[in-house]
């Protein structure tokens, strides 16, 4: 297949990004040599399956097997509140302080809970290194002690929500939220109903990363788990605001 021009190869690459094995097998039956293309699609699908398992799988992920690992255990010293308002962590989380109300911001960064959030969906550019601003994602997180650091539960819940987006059978207590999720232009903050959350104090909300560069490797972690310190909210039909945690605090 070396006779393709540079432009044609680019078009083939774009097509292979979404081509299926069934399409290639149909071409093969017509006498087209698709050996290289089948290998490319198999590699693509394998990488996609690995990424899906890292984000939504119930098994613990070996950091050496993913492209952008994190070490959330490094945040253990900062889970208890209140934190030292004059400590490096609080100052780093608070970021650039406003001219007015500095103490209020520092008090929130020192006294508000640290939570883990799981990505339900995100702007595709957030999965690749970049320096974009205000790119959106949909996150699920919990505030109760039993669930807010439970990574397996957060992944499972994110998967439930992602699956419901594609489903025709939506529980009554989740229909309003799923309708918002299906609208790519919507901004929302919803407390999860019991059909998804069980007894957890759990929330699903849109969130925009002010600076993508604050993320580890300048992109979302492979497992889709991001730590934050709660800033304001959550409040239904209003929103949630987080302090972003610099990646150095949860990467090796």
Domain count, the chain: 2
Residue 28's pLDDT is 82
d(CA 11, CA 3): 14
Does 228 reside within a domain? yes
Q: Is residue 74 located within the same domain as residue 38?
A: no
Q: Is residue 70 located within the same domain as residue 50?
A: no
Q: Is residue 156 located within the same domain as residue 244?
A: yes
Residue 33's pLDDT is 84
Q: Is residue 72 located within the same domain as residue 129?
A: yes
Last residue of a domain, one of 55, 73, 95: 55
Does 92 reside within a domain? yes
Does 188 reside within a domain? yes
Domain range for 22 is 6-55
Residue 107's pLDDT is 97
Residue 41's pLDDT is 61
Q: Is residue 111 located within the same domain as residue 131?
A: yes
Residue 2's pLDDT is 44
The string over 173-208, giving b where at least 16 C-beta atoms fall within 10 Å of a residue's C-beta and e elsewhere, is ebeebbebbeeeeeebbbbbbeebbeebbbbbbbbe
Per-residue pLDDT of the chain (252 residues; tens, 9 = 90+): 444 444 555 676 677 677 787 887 888 888 888 787 777 666 655 555 566 677 887 777 888 888 999 999 999 999 999 999 999 999 999 999 988 989 999 999 999 999 999 999 999 999 999 999 999 999 999 999 999 999 999 999 999 999 999 999 999 999 999 999 999 899 999 999 999 999 999 999 999 999 999 999 999 999 999 999 999 999 998 999 999 999 999 999
Residue 1's pLDDT is 41
d(CA 32, CA 46): 24
Q: How many CB atoms lie within 10 A of CB 51?
A: 16
- Sign of the torsion formed by the C-alpha atoms of 190, 224, 45 and 7: positive
Q: How many helices (H) and strands (E) does the chain have?
A: 8, 6
Q: Is residue 36 located within the same domain as residue 137?
A: no
Residue 3's pLDDT is 41
Residue 63's pLDDT is 87
| pTM across the whole model | 0.81
Q: Is residue 133 located within the same domain as residue 162?
A: yes
d(CA 198, CA 166): 21
Residue 222's pLDDT is 94
Q: Is 95 exposed, middle or buried (0-12, 13-18, 19+ CB in 10 A)?
A: middle
Residues 6 or more apart whose Cβ sits within 8 Å of residue 212: 125, 126, 130, 131, 132, 133, 135, 218, 219
Residue 10's pLDDT is 60
Angle at 39 between CA 163 and CA 128, to 5 degrees: 50
Q: Give SS3 for 50.
A: helix
Does 1 reside within a domain? no
Beta bridge partners of 136: 208
């Amino acid at each position: 297949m070396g006779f393709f021009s540079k432009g044609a190869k680019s078009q083939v690459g774009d097509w292979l990004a979404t081509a299926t094995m069934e399409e290639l097998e149909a071409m093969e039956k017509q006498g087209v040599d698709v050996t290289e293309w089948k290998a490319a699609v198999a590699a693509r699908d394998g990488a996609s399956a690995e990424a899906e398992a890292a984000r939504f799988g119930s098994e613990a992920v070996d950091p050496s097997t993913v492209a952008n690992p994190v070490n959330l255990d490094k945040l253990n010293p900062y889970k208890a509140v209140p934190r030292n308002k004059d400590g490096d962590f609080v100052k780093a989380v608070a970021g650039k302080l406003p001219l007015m109300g500095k103490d209020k911001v520092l008090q929130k960064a020192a006294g508000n809970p640290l939570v883990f959030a799981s990505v339900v969906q995100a702007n595709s550019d957030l999965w690749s290194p970049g320096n974009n601003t205000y790119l959106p994602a949909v996150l699920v997180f919990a505030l109760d002690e039993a669930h807010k650091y439970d990574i397996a539960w957060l992944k499972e819940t994110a998967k439930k929500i992602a699956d419901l987006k594609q489903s025709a059978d939506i529980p009554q207590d989740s229909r309003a939220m799923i309708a918002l999720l299906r609208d790519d232009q919507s901004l929302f903050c919803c407390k999860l109903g019991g059909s998804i959350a069980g007894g957890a104090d759990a929330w699903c909300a849109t969130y925009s990363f002010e600076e993508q560069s604050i993320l580890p490797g300048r992109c979302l972690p492979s497992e889709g788990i991001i730590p934050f310190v709660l800033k304001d909210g959550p409040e239904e039909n209003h929103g949630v605001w987080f302090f972003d945690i610099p990646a150095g605090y949860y990467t090796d």
